[in-house]
Amino acid sequence: MSGDGITSGDYIKHHLQNMTYGQHPDGSWGFAQSPEAAKEMGFWAFHVDSLGWSLALAAVFFFIFRKVAKNPTTGVPGGLQNFVEMMVEFVNSSVRGSFSGRNDIVAPLALTVFAWVFLMNFMDLIPVDWLPMIAQQIGAAFGADPHHVYFKVVPSTDPNITFGMALGVFWLMLYYSIKIKGLGGFLGELAFQPFGKVGTPVNLVLEGVSLISKPVSLALRLFGNMYAGETIFILIALMYGGGLAIGAFGGLLQLGWAIFHILIITLQAFIFMTLTIVYLDMAHTDH
């Protein structure tokens, strides 16, 4: 794709643009043919690629873990069962170390969050041109201009996905805060901590900012790290069009960055899971 005569800037913008479906200004529905058309569709447009990959990776997680859970081996377990058991034990130990309350949903939620975020991040290790080129060929087969077929394959580089997960955690935190402490206890923490009744206006500002910052930081941390990593992969891919020597150097850079990126995608999944556990622990604990 980088050799199609487009500029480096166009190449980068193309790879960072989502496949967007929504309502055009004339009232018709369809796919956006340019970033400007996607912007005109407004807030209620759908990022088909991000949503599709998120659901597909959730299905992969569900299928693998369900398969192992339905057919466990009591003797010497196979490699897949070993991997799943190791994941479950790792998450259980994280929950025991960070969650002091009693709630049967926390450990399964933490496992789901970790595995799902890791799988979405893992898509960043697939070469940046492979899947977009396949999408372009499929679009061309249906009569679309290949250069107007956009396809992002890393859901966690889309802030809509990261904010969706973060808001899910946020609503759970609010729900359990009110359920465990009561509405009065929850509002009392916002109004009377940390400076007591005298400092209620200041308390509301401080606690309100602290409360709202939790889902915002949770979403932006994951999005920012993964977006930066994807951008670096795209910049390295541009080197393949610069001749044999630069292309070979780009190949070494890509290999080195991919190896280092394995740590990043795992760490980001772990951080998202850990903060989810901590926020739910705060919801179960008095100030």
Q: What pLDDT, on a 0 to 100 scale, did the predictor assign at position 2?
A: 46
Q: What pLDDT, on a 0 to 100 scale, did the predictor assign at position 197?
A: 80
DSSP 182-238: HHHHHHHHHHHTTTTGGGHHHHHHHHHHHHHHHHHHHHHHHHHHHHHHHHHHHHHHH
Q: What pLDDT, on a 0 to 100 scale, did the predictor assign at position 4?
A: 57
What distance, in Å, lies between the first and last C-alpha atoms of the chain? 55
Would you mind telling me the total number of residues written for the chain in this entry?
A: 287
Give the integer Cα–Cα distance in Å for 83 and 89.
10
Give the integer Cα–Cα distance in Å for 220 and 258.
22
Question: Cα 60 to the chain's mean position, in Å?
Answer: 16
Exposure of 155 by Cβ count < 10 A (0-12 exposed, 13-18 middle, 19+ buried)? Answer: buried
Give the integer Cα–Cα distance in Å for 50 and 154.
7
Q: What pLDDT, on a 0 to 100 scale, did the predictor assign at position 286?
A: 75
Whole-prediction pTM: 0.92
- Sequence-distant contacts of 53-60: CB under 8 A, at least 24 apart: 53/120, 53/123, 53/153, 53/154, 53/155, 54/116, 54/120, 54/155, 54/161, 57/116, 57/119, 57/120, 57/123, 57/155, 58/116, 60/119
**Can 221 be counted among the known catalytic residues?**
yes
Give the integer Cα–Cα distance in Å for 231 and 21.
23
> At 249, which amino acid appears?
F
**Can 177 be counted among the known catalytic residues?**
no
Q: What pLDDT, on a 0 to 100 scale, did the predictor assign at position 193?
A: 80
SS3 47: strand
Question: Out of 34, 103, 160, 221, which one is annotated catalytic?
Answer: 221
Q: Which residues of the chain have pLDDT under 70?
A: 1-5, 287
